[in-house]
Amino acid sequence: MPARCEATNARGEPCGMAPLQGTSQCWAHNPSRGEARALARKRGGRNRRVALAIDPPTDAPRLRDVGAIQRQLEDAVYNTLRLANSPTRSRTIGYLLGFALRALEVGELEARLGALESQLPSPSPWRTA
Ligand SMILES: [Zn+2]
């Protein structure tokens, strides 16, 4: 029977990994490997970090009209498409497209309402101010 690490895992069960040569503990439990483990964790965290947005804006976006909101959504979709494919990326794109569709609807309603209002006699009897 091959030797197993003498340490226990978080659940209190035997570790089960092969011990390092000449020791009774595995790579994860051997105290002399602490520095190497810390370095590996650091490297893993760095590699998982999400890339920054392309050309991050210097000013806060102004979302005062449908066109401005559509531009932000287009940028967000573009930036999201540049990320590695994943279920989260797909979900995010789905959300953004839903918002984009809503912005199209609002923009069309705005245009139609503007066209109707332009045909009303001026000043509009519907306006109180
Ligand atoms: Zn172990």
Residues 60, 29 share a domain: no
pLDDT at residue 111 tops 90: yes
How many distinct structural domains can be found in the chain? 2
pLDDT of 106: 96
Q: How close is the Cα of 38 to the center of ligand 1, in Å? A: 16
Residues 66, 38 share a domain: no
- In this structure, which residues have their CB less than 5 angstroms from ion ligand 1? 5, 7, 15, 17, 26, 29
Percentage of residues of the chain with pLDDT beyond 70: 86
Beta bridge partners of 14: 8
Closest-CA residue to 24 (of 2, 55, 45): 2
Q: How close is the Cα of 31 to the center of ligand 1, in Å? A: 11
In terms of residue numbers, what domain contains 6? 1-49
Separation of alpha carbons 41 and 29, rounded Å: 14
What's the whole-number mean pLDDT along residues 59-69?
92
Confidence tier at 3 by pLDDT (50, 70, 90)? confident
Separation of alpha carbons 127 and 108, rounded Å: 22
- Flag whether the pTM goes above 0.75: no
Residues 59, 45 share a domain: no
Element (H, E) at 73: helix 66-81
Element (H, E) at 119: none
Q: Are 61 and 72 in contact (CB under 8 A)?
A: yes
Element (H, E) at 53: none
pLDDT at residue 99 tops 90: yes
Element (H, E) at 67: helix 66-81
Residues 18, 42 share a domain: yes
Residues 43, 65 share a domain: no
